Amino acid sequence: MDLQLTNKAAVVTGASRGIGLAIVSALMGEGMRVVAAARTITPELKATGAIGVSVDLSKADGPARLVAEAEAELGGLDVLVNNVGGGAGEGQTGGFLTFTDQQWYDTFDLNFLASVRTTRAALPHLSGSRGTIVNISSNGARTPHAGPIPYTTAKAALTAFGKALAEEFGPQGVRVNTVSPGAVRTDMWESPDGYGAELAQSMGLEQKQLLAHLPTATGMVTGRLVSPDEVAALVAYLASPLAGSTTGADHIIDGGAIKTV
């Protein structure tokens, strides 16, 4: 299927690995010109052929600098994918009373405010091109008890943010959608020093035991974790003209974990 994205210009944040890297690869595969933002430009990201920009989007000036560099490199902007996010350091499994103010600030900076600032910088360009924004949230925004409370709360804010943007900027031709994955096979779960490892230790399990039982424990009827490529394929479709009447929606991709309508 031709998604009609050839030569369109995109910015993808949090692009060095996992979902972000898969999104960059998918958009490049559709013939897009992509600026890929990450704190570290990994060899895997370089191999995609995208234009890598090293930037810390948790810093107040980072998003505006990224968009300025993207505009200079691409000569315009059609698509923004706000993918940057993740856990803010160790100590994510202890419950509400264990989280400090600094952990809340850091988590909101990374998972919410970085996308707010990047969107604010990009919207003048996207309004001119009648462009598209895709925010990568989490199904934890709808089941906030299922993960670290600062993270799920920040993702809930991101989901609400996308809905509000779609309403305000839809008349200017800008579409805004949210993609909310469940557990995805990324370093967050599989790294020996990631959230999955910390969660397994808190439960007295080996990490491989946790990962083996995670799909069933979270209600994923597919029996497996989500692939980053599956998330990327959905993002590419939402970025394309084929989704021209799709806006203001939250697209769950979690193997059926959320049971409510």
- The pLDDT confidence band at residue 89, using thresholds 50, 70 and 90, is low
Name residues whose C-beta falls within 8 Å of residue 144's C-beta, 6 or more positions apart in sequence: 152, 153, 156
Local structure of residue 56 (DSSP, 8 states): -
Please state, as a whole number, how many other Cβ atoms lie within 10 Å of the Cβ of residue 179: 25
Residues 197 and 163 in one domain: no
Catalytic residue among 105, 151, 195, 237: 151
Q: Are 30 and 195 in contact (CB under 8 A)?
A: no
103: CATH: 3.40.50.720
pLDDT digits (tens, 9 = 90+) for 161-210: 999 999 999 999 999 999 999 999 998 898 888 888 888 998 999 999 99
Q: Please tell me the distance from the alpha carbon of residue 168 to that of residue 251, in angstroms, as a whole number.
A: 20
Within a domain: residue 1? Answer: no
Mean pLDDT taken over the chain: 95
List the domain range (segments joined by +) for residue 22: 9-184+228-253
Residues 193 and 125 in one domain: no
pLDDT digits (tens, 9 = 90+) for 204-229: 999 999 999 999 999 999 999 999 99
Report DSSP letters for 179-210, one per residue: EEE-SBSSHHHHSTTSHHHHHHHHTT--HHHH
Residues 152 and 209 in one domain: no
Within a domain: residue 140? Answer: yes
Residues 214 and 248 in one domain: no
Please state, as a whole number, how many other Cβ atoms lie within 10 Å of the Cβ of residue 152: 22
- Give residue 91's pLDDT: 74
151 is catalytic: yes
- Give residue 88's pLDDT: 60
Q: Please tell me the distance from the alpha carbon of residue 179 to that of residue 26, in angstroms, as a whole number.
A: 15
Number of domains in the chain: 2
- The more confident residue out of 131 and 189 is 131
Residues 116 and 196 in one domain: no
Average pLDDT over residues 119-134: 98
